[in-house]
Amino acid sequence: MGEKSSIQIGKKAFIGAVIILLALIIFSGVLTRLIPSGSYERVIVEGRRMVAADSFRYEDKIPFPVWRWFTAPLEVIWGDNMKMVVVLILFMIFIGGSFTILEKARIMEALLALAVSRFISRKYLLMGIIVFFFMFTAAVLGIYEAMVPMIVFIVPLSLILGWDSLTGLGMSLLALSFGFSAAVTNPFTIGVAQSIAELPLFSGAPLRILFFIVTYVLVFLFVRSYARRVEKDPARSLVYAEDQKIRQKYNPESLLAGKELAKTPGMARAIRWIALSLALSVVFMITAALVPAIPTDFAFPVVALLFFIGGTASGRSAGLRGKALWKTFGSGVTAILPGILLILMAMSVPHIMTRGGVMDSILYAASGVIAGTSTYLAGFLVYLLTFILNFFISSASAKAFLMMPILTPLADLVGLTRQTVVLAFDFGDGFSNMLFPTNALLLVGLGLTVVSYTKWIRWTVKIQGIIFLISMVFLAFAIAIRFGPF
C-alpha cells in the first residue's frame, strides 16, 4: 500500500510548467497595460449570449493592478469561471483517486492483460484502431472530455506493448485533439459556427471528410514511426528516464499473471464495473452531442462521477475495501494536486485579459485588418485570429459566439464564403489546443502521465507544423472553389 500512484508529476516537469505559466501570466498583465480597453455589447439570442457586431466602444483605461497578476490563480476559483474551475478540480481529484484504486487493486493489470493478449501479434493494427477511435469520436460527435480518462489506460497499454508514454499520448490525447480539429460534424465547432453563420447544419461535409482522412493518416504514421524507433531502441524515447518506474509495473512479464488474475470472480466483476462506467460516459456524451437541451457544462462532472463510481465499485469487487480503499483514493488525490495548481495558473491568463478589458479590443482591431484585405489573405487572417484567441479562450463554442457574429458580415464584405470562414475557424480553434499551456484539457491529459509540457512540445512540434501546412492548403482550396453553399 505504500507504493506511489503512477500519476505523478515529476519535480522538474512541475517546476518547468510553473515557470512557463508564470511568464504567460506576466505577459498577459503587460498586455493589459499596452492595449486600449474596450468592449462589445452582448445580446441574448435563443438563450445564448452573443456579441453585437457593430457595438464596440473604447473605454477609459482602468489598469489591472500588478499584484493581482499573481493572485489571479486564487481569484479564478471564485471568479466568472468558478463553475468550470471547481468542475475541473473535482474531475482531476476523481480521476486521480479512482485510477490509483485500479492500480493498487491490480485491476489495471488484468485489463491490460486482456487487451494485449488479443493483439500482441497485431499491435500496430491495434494502434491504428485506437487512433481512429479517438479521432472519430471527436470529429463526428465532438466528444472530448469523456475520452480523457481513457488516457490512464492507453499509456500503460503502450508501455506493455514495448513503446512509451509519449506513444500512449499520441494514440489518445494527440489523436483526440486532431480529431476535434479535423471536425466533420462536431456540434461544438462546426455546429455552433454554422448556426451563427446561418448555414445549413453540417453542410460542406465532403471536404471536411477528406481532410479528416488525410489528418488521420498523418497522425497514425507519425505515432507509428516514433513507436517503432522506441521499440527498436527504448533509450531513444524522449521520456525514457521518466518511464522507468512505470515500466517496472507494466511489463510483458506481468501479462501472464494478469490473464490468470482476470479469470477470478472478483476481478471479473471489477472489470465489468469499470467497463460499464466508461461505456456510460461515452453514451452520455453522444446523447449530449445529439440533444441540444443537455448543457455541455455537465460533461466533466458526469464523466468524473461515473469514473469515480466505477473505480470505487471495481476496487471493492477486487477486495480493496474500508480504510484501505479510501487511503488508496487519497494517495491518488495527493499525487494529482500539483496538476490542479497548474490548471489554476493556466486559467489565470484569460482571467487577467478579461478583467483588463482588452479581449474585445484585440478582436475589434483584428476585424478591422481583415476588412481591408483580399479574399485569400482574409481567410488566412481568420485562421490566425482564431489561433491567437485560442490562447486566451480554449472553449470552441465560446469563441464561436464571440467571433462568428463579427466574422460573418466581414466575410460577405471581402468576398469570402461563410462556409470558408467556418472552416478557417475550425482549423484555428482545434490545432492550437495541443500547443498552448493555457488549455486546461492539455494540462489535465499531461497531468495523468509523466510527460512534461516541454517534452510534449518537443515531440509534437513536427506533426503540428505538417498539419498546419496541410490545413493551409485545404483552406486555400476552399477559397479558390468558393466553398459553399455560400
pLDDT tens-place string over residues 403-428: 888 888 888 888 899 999 999 999 98
Instruction: Quote the domain boundaries for residue 293.
Output: 82-480
Closest Cα partner for 378 from 348, 336, 337, 421?
421
Residue 374 domain flag:
yes
pLDDT score for 83: 74
Residue 279 domain flag:
yes
- pLDDT-derived band at 51, boundaries 50, 70, 90: confident
pLDDT score for 2: 44
| Model pTM score | 0.83
Q: What residues have CB less than 8 Å from 178, skipping those under 6 apart?
A: 135, 215, 219, 430, 431, 434, 467
- What is the greatest pairwise CA distance in the chain? 71
- Give the three cell numbers for residue 455: 517534452
| Distance separating alpha carbons of residues 337 and 342, to the nearest angstrom | 9
Residue 298 domain flag:
yes
Chain center to CA of 63: 33
Q: What is the pLDDT of residues 256-292, one digit of tens each?
A: 666 777 778 888 899 899 889 888 887 877 776 666 6
| Distance separating alpha carbons of residues 345 and 167, to the nearest angstrom | 27
Strands 57-58 and 48-51: unpaired
Residue 142 domain flag:
yes
Residue 243 domain flag:
yes
Determine the average pLDDT of the residues in 43-62. 80
Alpha helices in 415-452 (DSSP H): 418-430, 440-447
Residue 32 domain flag:
no
pLDDT score for 399: 86
Residue 187 domain flag:
yes
In total, how many domains does the chain have? 1
pLDDT score for 296: 57
R_g (Cα) of the chain, nearest Å: 23
Residue 17 domain flag:
no
Q: Is the pLDDT of residue 78 over 90?
A: no
pLDDT score for 289: 62
The tally of CA atoms less than 13 A away on the side-chain side of residue 442 is: 27
